[in-house]
Amino acid sequence: MKQSFFVFVVLTAAFFLQGNILGQESSMERGVAISEQTQECITCHNISNAGIVEDWRSSRHAQMTPEKAVVKPKLERRISSDSVPDSLKSVAVGCYECHSMNAAEHPDTFEHFGYVIHTVVSPNDCQTCHPEEVEQYSGSKKAHALDILQKNSVYHNLVVTTTRVKEFTDGQLTHSKASETTKNETCYACHGSRVSVKGTKIIETYLGDVEVPILTNWPNQGVGRVNPDGSRGACTACHPRHSFSIEIARQPYTCSQCHLHPDVPAWEVYKESKHGNIFFSKQHDWNLNNVPWTVGKDFNAPSCAVCHNSLLVTPDEELIVQRTHDFGARLWVRIFGLIYSHPQPKSGKTYEIRNQNGLPLPTTFTGELESEFLIDEEEQTRRQKEMQKVCQNCHGANWVRGHFVQLDTTNMEADQMVLAATQLLQQAWDEGLADPANPFDEAIEQKWIEQWLFFANSVRYASAMGGQDYATFKNGWWELTRNLQEMQDRIGLKAK
């Protein structure tokens, strides 16, 4: 007792005097062996990239060996493989362990001061220890997020129409090709870019000139990034380098990087919801790092991860829901990104859908579902029940039931408000006031897009997650109504 007490005093004093949790954690690293190679990485990169090294030092990767991680009780495990290669077992998961993994499969592999490493550590590398996560993710829409914009001709047209540079020539607007840079910084920033190797170059560093591969569309950390090794996804999109923290991934701030106003206002709706209120008010008391994650003990209101993907247990360690890295797996209805709400698609490769007009969309422009590609009612019910298991930890069955019924009504009404806009647009097309050849490039078409992509999405999210102003004045019913009026006036104006 005496000794442990001394340790306690020292640690606590360090906390108060330094406020330095990172330092505290890195002192724990002493107990874990670091491979010789990683040690050598650190020797140099400690000087040139101290932030990377320190961030890693604060990570679980630095403080735990795979052989210890793998024998934890099932509910406490943060590693889904039951075995790990011998070479990795007894050392920290350090620079060299990841950046040298599967070297032969990486076109960005290069020789670096005697080591053969690659820049872009990919899900294919991570799955050495985390195979379940990678497998779940690989089937999800997130993994195919880039293809969803590039291989879906409708969406690709929207990307290009929006991002190409416009010029004013001979009294009218023309346009050039959309640049890779702009696509990377806009749509592909979240959806991911295609990173490939185009030769090598010499770059100047603190340590002199170094030859490195030239990567196209780099940097990028989008969820559907296509990596040089052909794998899809960037685990660092949610577990940022180099702490790869579960705590950060569970923070709503992580999801909010992409799921935000005006097209996907999940974050803003959460912020104005009761759930958000409790999170922001009480997060200093929460533990976002524990595994398993205990309702009422570790947190007392949901963050995004609670409802959508985390493994949850009761204070009695009863399993509530399993972890999933397919972030749509608990969802039955899809409420954003498309013209109308619809049952979740069966496959993450949504660009393979064909509706009755031959377009890669789950509905027609007037809302008819293409059910063949969408989950059926039974699967919808199953997922609703899964989600309700989460809700019922803090809400009575009556409350939950009422909430789900309201969401159904709202989705239907939001769809009706989109249909009215579509019919107005059709009238504009019929009367020759706009040209349907490209449905995304004229002023009235832009209003139609905003009707579904901004305003209908907003009221659906507001219903799903309990945000009041996003249903009302902030891109909600006020805008749905105002925008229809504007569309009507515009048609009337020109039609006379």
Give the CA angle between residues 458, 237, 325 to the nearest 5°. 80
119 contributes a contact to a second copy by CB under 8 A: yes
Q: Does 75 bind a second copy (CB under 8 A)?
A: no
Tell the smallest beta-carbon distance from residue 83 to a second copy (Å).
Answer: 30
Amino acid at 101: M
Exactly one of 31, 198, 230, 297 binds a second copy (CB under 8 A); which one?
A: 297
Using the rule CB under 8 A, is 40 a contact of a second copy?
no
Residue 48 beta carbon to a second copy: minimum distance, rounded to whole angstroms: 7
Question: Does residue 113 touch a second copy according to CB under 8 A?
Answer: no
Chosen residue from 165, 319, 322, 435 binding a second copy by CB under 8 A: 165
74/177 with CB nearer a second copy: 177
Least distance in Å: CB of 286 to a second copy? 7
Q: Which residues of 283-318 are buried (b: 16+ CB within 10 A; e: fewer)?
A: eeebebebbbbbbeebbebbbbbbbbbbbbbeeeee
Is 177 a binder of a second copy (CB under 8 A)? no
Q: Cα–Cα distance between 90 and 204 in angstroms, integer?
A: 35
Site for a second copy in 210-269 (CB under 8 A): 210, 212, 215, 218-219, 221, 240-241, 243, 245, 247-248, 251, 253-254, 256-258, 260-263
Computed over its alpha carbons, how large is the radius of gyration of the chain?
A: 25
Q: CA-based angle 296:300:303, to the nearest 5?
A: 125
Instruction: Report the alpha-carbon distance of residue 394 to residue 382 in Å, rounded.
Output: 20
Minimum distance, C-beta of residue 82 to a second copy, in the bound complex (Å): 28
Q: Give 71-140 as a DSSP string.
A: TS-GGG-S---S---HHHHTS---HHHHHTTTGGG-TTEEEETTEEEES---HHHHTTT-HHHHHHHHTS
Q: Which of 97, 133, 298, 326 binds a second copy (CB under 8 A)?
A: 298
Candidates 332, 365, 452, 477; binder of a second copy (CB under 8 A) is 477
Q: What is the rounded CA–CA span in Å between residue 370 and residue 378?
A: 17
Task: Choose, by CB under 8 A, the member of 284, 358, 378, 437 that binds a second copy.
Answer: 284
- Given the DSSP bridges, would you call strands 208-215 and 197-205 parallel, antiparallel or unpaired? antiparallel
Instruction: Tell me the per-residue interface mask from 316 to 345 with a second copy, x by CB under 8 A, - otherwise.
Output: x-x---------------------------
Stretch touching a second copy by CB under 8 A, among 81-89, 139-147, 289-297, 371-379: 289-297
> Closest separation between CB of residue 327 and a second copy, Å?
17
Residue 470 tokens read as 């996003």
Residue 15 engages a second copy in binding (rule: CB under 8 A): yes
DSSP state of 436: T
Q: Site for a second copy (CB under 8 A): which residue of 124, 363, 410, 458?
A: 410
In this structure, the dihedral spanned by the alpha carbons of residues 471, 477, 482 and 484, taken in order and rounded to 10 degrees, is: 130
Window 180 to 199, contacts with a second copy (CB under 8 A): 181-182, 184-187, 189-190
Q: Which is nearer to a second copy, 340 or 373 (CB)?
A: 340
DSSP 453: I
For residues 159 and 226, the answer to whether their CB atoms sit within 8 Å is no
Half-sphere exposure of 4 (CA within 13 A, CB side): 1
Binding to a second copy, residues 136-155 (CB under 8 A):
none
**CB of 382 vs a second copy, minimal distance in Å:** 14
Does 386 contact a second copy by CB under 8 A?
A: no
SS3 290: coil
